[in-house]
Amino acid sequence: MIKGIMPPITTPFERSEIAYDKLEQNFAKWNKTPLSGYVVMGSNGESVFLTREEKLRLVDAAKKNMDSGKILIAGTGSDSIKETVSLSNDAADRGADYVLVLTPSFYKEEMKSGAFVRYFTEAADRIKIPLIIYNVPRFTGVNIEVDAVATLSNHGNIAGLKNSSENMAHTAEIIGSVPRSFSVLVGTASVLYPGLAAGAAGGILALANIAPRECVEIQRLFDTGKHNEASKLQTKLIRANKAVTSRYGVPGLKVAMDMLGYFGGDPRSPLAPLCDKDRKDLKSILKTAGLVD
């Protein structure tokens, strides 16, 4: 079972090419924290801007630089089952422990439970390592329903779900509908504590790129029954989390990394770097949250 906190790591670019040395520096810092593992090629990794070769090189780089005690999850999903299977198996060969597979989403009107069950069943049947379903309505425009997750949770090679919806009714109903061995991971730090309280196993959190210890601390407080403290820390981090996710997106997360001693750098085009005003606002939000001085 997958547990704990994992960042979907950003992909560092210099002059628009992947900067592997910067990635190494970031890993050196993250490795010292109690993070459970890493996700490469997630939404915050600008996966959609990478070529197939770049993706596989990223898996290699992560494997080489990460603490061997942690797990490695590779984001490999696209609408094409054929390509998803092929890329997933290549990632597995390079050492990924799990693949994180986005719901297909292009034909939105047809992407209902039946299509999701077909897609993930066929993919999981043919991928060598366990698959984690990735639901992120904000980016895909589709939302996987409880019944589809319930059905898929019984597949031997589907290990869990990353649910980036902030709708706690949805997450809680899913948790009530799947076996205990199926890991439901929240997808944003804003709902980490309520998610854990509802039975989630952990989270894949953009915020864990810049505040790994604080995210892990929420889970430790929860695990030791310190609900009030967990709730307080949760509340303190919400605005910071919103700033590096929905408000300022990946460009904001990267600026925050630069402010916190990691290498963030610029996003790849067509994303644009944050303007000065937004940088200032972001800094002020991170200060209020106690993340920067």
User: What are the residues binding a copy of itself (CB under 8 A)?
Assistant: 43, 48-52, 78-83, 86, 104, 106-111, 114-116, 118-119, 122, 138-139, 141, 166-170, 172-173, 175-176, 188, 190-191, 193-194, 197-199, 225, 227, 231, 234-236, 238-239, 241-242, 246, 249-251, 268-272
Residue 66 vs 124, nearer CB to a copy of itself:
124
Catalytic annotation present for 236: no
Selecting among 22, 70, 162, 254, the annotated active-site residue is: 162
Taking the complex as a whole, the smallest distance from the CB of residue 50 to a copy of itself amounts, in Å, to: 6
Here the tokens at position 33 are 């924290």
> Which contiguous run of DSSP H or E holds residue 23?
helix 20-31
C-beta pairs of 255-259 under 8 Å, 24+ apart in sequence: 255/279, 255/282, 256/209, 256/210, 256/282, 256/286, 256/291, 257/10, 257/26, 257/209, 257/210, 259/283, 259/286, 259/292
Q: How far is the CB of 70 from a copy of itself (least distance, A)?
A: 27
Number of Cβ within a 10 Å radius of residue 78: 17
Over 189-230, what HEC string results?
A: HHHHHHHHHCCCCEEECHHHHCCHHHHHHHHHHHHCCCHHHH
Main-chain dihedrals φ then ψ at residue 281, nearest 5 degrees = -60, -45
Question: Closest separation between CB of residue 157 and a copy of itself, Å?
Answer: 17
Q: Least distance to a copy of itself from the beta carbon of 122, Å? A: 6
DSSP lists the bridge partners of residue 202 as: 4, 185
The residues annotated with a catalytic role in the active site are: 162
